[in-house]
Amino acid sequence: MESKRNQLIEQACRFIEKNNGDVSLARIAEHVMASPYHFHRLFKSIMGITPKDYANAYRQKLIKKRWQKMAVLQRQFISQVLMLIAVFMKMQPQY
């Protein structure tokens, strides 16, 4: 019985992640074929947080990853711009 509950919560977590954390309690409960009330209680008892808190934490994790990726791209862009500036400076005629 415990294994079935864990599988249900695992399935719900994957559903939340698949939807990037943007999913209602009713939709999650429907996906795992449980009533919203029962599912919410079960999720909190097993995970220690509510489905909404899990979804919010997942969204924050996605945002952090995107910011990190943007920071890397920004550094690469700045590096390339500086390199182009150096190339053009060398190409200018010396008076």
Written as tens digits, the pLDDT of the chain (95 aa) is 679 999 999 999 999 999 999 999 999 999 999 999 999 999 999 999 999 999 999 999 998 988 888 878 888 888 888 888 888 777 777 66
For residues 66, 14, 54, 64, the Cα torsion angle rounded to the nearest 10 degrees is: -10
As a whole number of Å, the CA-based R_g of the chain is 24
Residue 87, classified by CB atoms within 10 Å of its CB into exposed (0-12), middle (13-18) or buried (19+), is: exposed
pTM of the model: 0.70
Would you state the pLDDT for residue 80? 84
Would you state the pLDDT for residue 1? 66
